[in-house]
Structures are given as structure tokens and as C-alpha cells.
Amino acid sequence: MSLQAWVRRTRVPEPASVRREIAVVEPADLLDVEAKDDPEASPVLCCTGESAGAAAFSALWLKRIAGSGRYAAAVSVRGQGNTPAAPGGVEARAHDLVQAAIGLPRQAVLVGHGAGAAWAALAAARYPAAALVLVAPHKLPKQPPKPVGDPKVLLAVDESDAQSKEAQAITDAYGVAPLTFPGVSGDVFTGPGAEGLLDTILSWLGRRD
């Protein structure tokens, strides 16, 4: 975030505080798998634009992320899941995401899906994410703000969307080549396609570069 953007933000009202629903699975919670807890690995915080919020990640994502040794969390922003609705547009949702991130034990990876990718992109301009992952992003600002702390960025899009104008604009803005995954964006949460996508993301996160 630029200094100027921060100054502007300190001079407008802060979004109303809400009690946010946060779902967490830690590697130690997984009794059935022999998951190794990697204290060095960054926690992962997920959000989606879909109205289920955090619950969308409960079936597969959180367990699988925790299975890779990472602290896994998902947040419902205002109006999603069990988080009460409250005024505020995308800025307030980005605020919810940042507030969830600062509550995690260590610097977190932000994963945003659909419209949630736009909130994650805004949040990453305020909070130095360990990495930023945009899955099937939707309604991202044309010129997304520069992330702070220079995190690595992963863009994952549905095969059929790979050539879309939106995907192209994001590719240009972050200077990263998109990773494509098969299937419609609806099954990013369950099924074999989702597992494949998730494993690709996790191995990208684990890569040192």
C-alpha cells in the first residue's frame, strides 16, 4: 500500500466491526492422517465469493491443507455463512479478511476464490501476505493495487476462462502466467478436480523460488 492510500484510509470511517465466523483445521487436529506439523510453513487463509463463506472449504480444502502441514483457516466475511451482514462494499470485505489474517499465529497466505479473489487482492495491498492465490477470480478491479511486501502470486483459472479478457488483465497486472485447471468453477470445492487443483496450489506454495 502506498503511504498516500494509507493516509486516505485513516481519514474515512472504519467499517463496522462484526463477529466473524472463522473455521480452522490445524495439522494436529487430523487424527486419522499422519500429518506433519510444519511450524515454518505459512498458515493459509481462504475466502470465497459464494454465500456459504467459510463452510465451502470445510468438506475438502481445510483438511487437505492441514494435511500438508499447514494451519488452515477460512473466513466468512460480512453477510456470508454465520457472519452477520453489515454495511460496506468490497473495501469492508477486504477489511474482514485482513482482520482474520492478523488473528492467525503467523504471516498467512491469502487464497481468494471468485469474488473473494477481489477481496484477497485488496487485502494483500494492506497486509503483507506470505503469498497471494487467486482462484477463478471474478470482479477484480481493473488495476488491482500493488500487494505489500512483494508476495508471490498464483493465478488459477478454469480452462475455459484462460483466454478471457479478465484473466488476461490479471495476468498483465501481476506479471504471472495463469495456471489452468479443468472443469467448471463450481467444483473447486469438492471432487477429484478440486483435489488436483488444491495439490497444485500446495506444491506451488511449498516451492522455494
Point out which residues bind another protein (CB under 8 A): 1-4, 6-8, 10-12, 14-15, 17, 95, 98-99, 102-107, 126-128, 148-150
Q: Which residues contact 41 (CB under 8 A, 6 or more apart)?
A: 68, 69, 70, 205, 206
17 vs 160, which CB is nearer to another protein?
17
Rounded Cα distance between 201 and 209, Å, is 15
Minimum separation from the CB atom of position 188 to another protein (A): 28
* Distance between start and end Cα atoms, the chain: 24
Minimum separation from the CB atom of position 68 to another protein (A): 20
Minimum separation from the CB atom of position 148 to another protein (A): 5
Minimum separation from the CB atom of position 151 to another protein (A): 10
Minimum separation from the CB atom of position 78 to another protein (A): 12
8 vs 139, which CB is nearer to another protein?
8
107 vs 171, which CB is nearer to another protein?
107
2 vs 51, which CB is nearer to another protein?
2
Contact 134, 143 (CB under 8 A): no
3-class secondary structure, 193: helix
CA–CA–CA angle 145, 175, 49 (5° rounding): 55
Rounded Cα distance between 43 and 90, Å, is 23
The helix (H) or strand (E) run that includes residue 72 is: strand 72-76
| C-alpha grid cell, residue 59 | 468438506
31 vs 102, which CB is nearer to another protein?
102
